[in-house]
Amino acid sequence: MRALFALAAVTLGLTLQAAVGPEKAIVVIGAHADDLESLAGASVAKYIARGYKGIFAVLTTHRAGAPLTPGKLEGDPLEAIQLHSEAAIAAARRYRATPVFFNLHPTRIRHGRSFAFTGSPWWSRFMPPGTWDISAAPARRPVVNAVAALLVEHNPELVLTHGIGEGDIEHHSGADIVYRAWTEARRRGARLGQLWFRSKDSSGMLSEASFRRFFEPARVTDDFFALADAREPEIEQQDRRFGPQWETALAPPFTYRSSRSQPVVMAVGAHCDDIEVQTGGTLVNLLRQGWKGLYVVTTNNTAGNYLRGGEGSTFPVDGLETIQVRQEEGRRAAAMFGLEPHYLNLHELVFYLGRQQITMEDEEWGLYDPPGNGPVTSSPEGKGLELMTALLEQHEPDLVIAHLLSDKPEHGQSGDLVYRAFKQATARGARLGQLWMPVGRFLPYFQRVRLHPDISIDVTEDNRLNWEALQHHVSQNAAGMIGMKPQPGKKRYEHFIIIVDNTGHR
């Protein structure tokens, strides 16, 4: 009798659950408190009105430099953190959602009327509350696991976050974390629905067209792509040791039609060795076909140069010496291609004074005044945009290859600079062809997402010369680029997506 009653109870319970269903959840994960509403406020309101449970998750402790109270100047970072938390709670309350905090550091905090970046001496002394810098957090397993645990707990039918490729590095990093956490939660058996990335970001480096080709997303609203859908079979894992298996995702062979008898290719790297690392094989390939080449480096290369000393010691050297050494290495490497480098000499974020790393926030930065033409950004405070535009106008390249996003800020900033200069030069009447950005390095998503490059170039024949050029970057431990080393009989490709196409070929 008791067993019968229990069975009846269980049956009744199942029946009730089937009638009502498990509570559906929508999770919005933003980098900052004020992102939640601007990111997905309207969408969340609709779903919550339909009975969804809402979760608002905020990744960082605050957004440096943005006063959350109108008219109030932000001063003390601690106060900013408090205001930020209150704003997140208030936003969640407006939508009857639950706030969740992950307390990651923003990439910078207010320091008087300036900013201090993570790792700077002032930051270290102040030690703001928080865990990891959000831009470094995607590589932190505990962070990814914590966000994954949230997803496992709520099994959301929808997860909304920023877009990969947004111009704000904290947004971009947030999307990166969420993507990884979503994958991890799925691995743990969470019952997930779709992952949506915001598609609208005018400052993003990844144009919508490129994004769509790259990620194969489906547009679900005016504002969002569905980047992943747990109801579809999981994409095959790629080999993580040496990157993805490019050969499985080759684009059609590259052909370029130009009215010029000698088309011009401009390769742009942030640092002296970046061209070889990312696009050197393609550069050699095109030069071999008779193209004219331009080798452009945007930064002044102060970030690091470790001299090898006696007894195996290594030590960093002063900013001026670093510039001299790295630019000379760049000249030697470019000479292997028969080219002369163009150095824009835009400031990096750091340089060395003796063995001490100096950032823009340090007093010594202003004292030393490292030679350069302003920051490597497209902001009007520097000369970068005008210098790059002038170079494009002067040479009118048929093809420009620049950085996409990266794990290093200067790479992304350099790519952004080229993109904006390309647009500006075109608007001024320069006859420019295509802008490509390489995919395949410094972007971890390719390891888990099916790759759809627009261009795949077989550089097997060209990589030996490129590798030899790379060996000239002695100060950067060039010999350590094992993956670049030509291996007999092994195919090697370089892959690109087309960011801008003025040719009308595609």
Partner 1 sequence: MSISSSLWTTRGIGSISLLLISTAAVTAYEGRDESGAHFNLVAEWGEYGSKAGQFKYPCMLAVDASSSVYVVDQHNHRIQKFDAGGRFLHSWGRFGNGPGQFNYPFGIALDSSGAVYVSDMDNHRVQKFSPGGEFLKAAGGYGSESGRFKHPYGLAIDSRGIVYVIDTLNYRVQKFDRDLNFVGAWGSQEEIGIKTYMPHEIAIARDGSVILSDRQNHRISIFNPVGKLVKRFGQYGEGPDTLGGRFSEPHGVAVGPDGTIYVCDRYNYRVQRFNPAGVFEAAWSIRGPKEDSQQYVLGLAADAKGNIYVTDQYRHRVLKYRYSPSAPAATGFGAPGRVRK
Q: Name the site residues for partner 1 (rule: CB under 8 A).
A: 307-311, 313, 315, 317, 320-321, 324-325, 328, 353-355, 367-369, 371
Instruction: Determine the residue type at 209.
Output: A
Question: What is the closest distance, in whole angstroms, from the C-beta atom of residue 367 to partner 1 in the complex?
Answer: 6
Pick between residue 253 and residue 309 the one whose CB is nearest to partner 1: 309
Pick between residue 3 and residue 367 the one whose CB is nearest to partner 1: 367
Residue 191 CB partners (closer than 8 Å, separation 6+): 155, 230
Question: What is the closest distance, in whole angstroms, from the C-beta atom of residue 77 to partner 1 in the complex?
Answer: 29
Question: What is the closest distance, in whole angstroms, from the C-beta atom of residue 198 to partner 1 in the complex?
Answer: 46
Question: In 3D, which of 179, 104, 116, 168 has the Cα closest to residue 413?
Answer: 168
Question: What is the closest distance, in whole angstroms, from the C-beta atom of residue 284 to partner 1 in the complex?
Answer: 24
Residues 287 and 462: their CA atoms lie apart, in Å, by 10
Question: What is the closest distance, in whole angstroms, from the C-beta atom of residue 78 to partner 1 in the complex?
Answer: 31
Local structure of 480: helix, strand or coil: helix
Residues 210 and 399: their CA atoms lie apart, in Å, by 17
Pick between residue 159 and residue 317 the one whose CB is nearest to partner 1: 317
Question: What is the closest distance, in whole angstroms, from the C-beta atom of residue 292 to partner 1 in the complex?
Answer: 23
List Cα–Cα distances, 431 to 117, 348, 388, 424, in angstroms: 40, 30, 15, 11
Instruction: Determine the residue type at 166.
Output: E
Pick between residue 328 and residue 396 the one whose CB is nearest to partner 1: 328
Pick between residue 121 and residue 409 the one whose CB is nearest to partner 1: 121
Question: What is the closest distance, in whole angstroms, from the C-beta atom of residue 248 to partner 1 in the complex?
Answer: 44
Pick between residue 263 and residue 316 the one whose CB is nearest to partner 1: 316
Pick between residue 50 and residue 125 the one whose CB is nearest to partner 1: 125
Look up residue 339 and give its two tokens.
Answer: 């080219």
Three-state SS string across 300-358, please?
CCCCCCEEECHHHCEEECCHHHHHHHHHHHHHHHHHHCCCCEEEEEEECCEEEECCEEE
Residues 7 and 400: their CA atoms lie apart, in Å, by 71
At 47, phi and psi to the nearest 5? -70, -40
